[in-house]
């Protein structure tokens, strides 16, 4: 099947809105957001603003608000359906611009839908938008083989290796583990086994 390029009502119902078939729950994102914010607190990276690129139904907005109502959240989405239903900022991960940088940039389950050239542009754009840290989650070939529950994973994606993504990301971000990355030029101190 070719990679998906349309994110309509059927897609959102199947993977996000229907409790019987959704890939992720609000509780899943609440636990993940707590992990990310606590790890960034440990790294002494304050989070007062968050940019969610490919925000879908906005699960991160609710999770972040529960943890810290003072975090300014911006949700950006390319789907006409999601923008209409949830009132997100219409934008593309490769070209979205902001006058200010964000303490936390979130990009969850977006890259596997992007053509290769768009991956490069998206990483460069996230590096421009990110002041503090990036949370990045991508389904890779290795994940499909060993980690994904196939009934809850969209098969219409670009299947690429984790090594392919690591090569693309490395010039711009340091991998801190747990999906957390910091900009390559960050002053944050990481001990040698805390990153790769």
The CATH number given to whatever domain includes residue 35 is 3.40.50.150
* Residue range 139-169, pLDDT digits in tens: 999 988 998 877 777 778 899 999 999 999 9
Could you tell me if residue 193 is inside a domain? no
Query: Could you tell me which residue, 12 or 121, shows the higher pLDDT?
Result: 121
Contact at 8 Å (CB) between 127 and 107? no
CA distance 18 to 92: 26
Tell me the pLDDT band of 1, cut-offs 50, 70 and 90: low
CA distance 174 to 151: 32
* Residue range 6-55, pLDDT digits in tens: 788 888 888 888 888 888 899 999 999 999 999 999 999 999 999 999 99
Could you tell me if residue 10 is inside a domain? no
Could you tell me if residue 194 is inside a domain? no
Domain membership of residue 82 as a residue range: 20-108+128-184
How many structural domains comprise the chain?
A: 1
Q: Which pLDDT score is estimated for 153?
A: 79
CA distance 64 to 160: 30
Contact at 8 Å (CB) between 81 and 26? no
The answer on pLDDT for 196 being more than 70 is no
Tell me the pLDDT band of 134, cut-offs 50, 70 and 90: very high
Could you tell me if residue 35 is inside a domain? yes
Instruction: Please name the residues in contact with 63: beta carbons below 8 A apart, sequence gap of 6 or more.
Output: 26, 29, 30, 32, 33, 34
CA distance 149 to 140: 13
């Amino acid at each position: 099947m070719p990679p998906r390029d349309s994110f309509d009502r059927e897609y959102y119902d199947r993977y996000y809105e229907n409790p019987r078939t959704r890939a992720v729950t609000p509780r899943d994102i609440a636990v993940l957001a707590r992990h990310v914010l606590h790890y960034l607190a440990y790294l002494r990276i304050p989070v007062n603003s968050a940019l969610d690129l490919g925000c879908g139904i906005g699960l991160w907005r609710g999770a972040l608000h529960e943890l810290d109502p003072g975090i300014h959240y911006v949700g950006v989405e390319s789907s006409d359906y999601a923008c209409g239903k949830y009132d997100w900022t219409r934008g593309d991960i490769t070209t979205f611009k902001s006058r200010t940088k964000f303490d936390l940039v979130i990009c969850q389950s977006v890259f596997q839908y992007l053509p290769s050239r768009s991956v490069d542009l998206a990483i460069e754009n996230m590096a421009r938008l990110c002041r503090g840290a990036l949370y990045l989650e991508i389904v890779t070939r290795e994940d499909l083989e060993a980690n994904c529950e196939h009934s809850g994973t969209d098969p219409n994606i670009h299947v690429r290796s984790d090594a392919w993504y690591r090569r693309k990301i490395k010039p711009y971000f340091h991998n801190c583990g747990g999906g957390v990355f910091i900009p390559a030029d960050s002053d944050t101190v990481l001990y040698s086994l805390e990153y790769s």
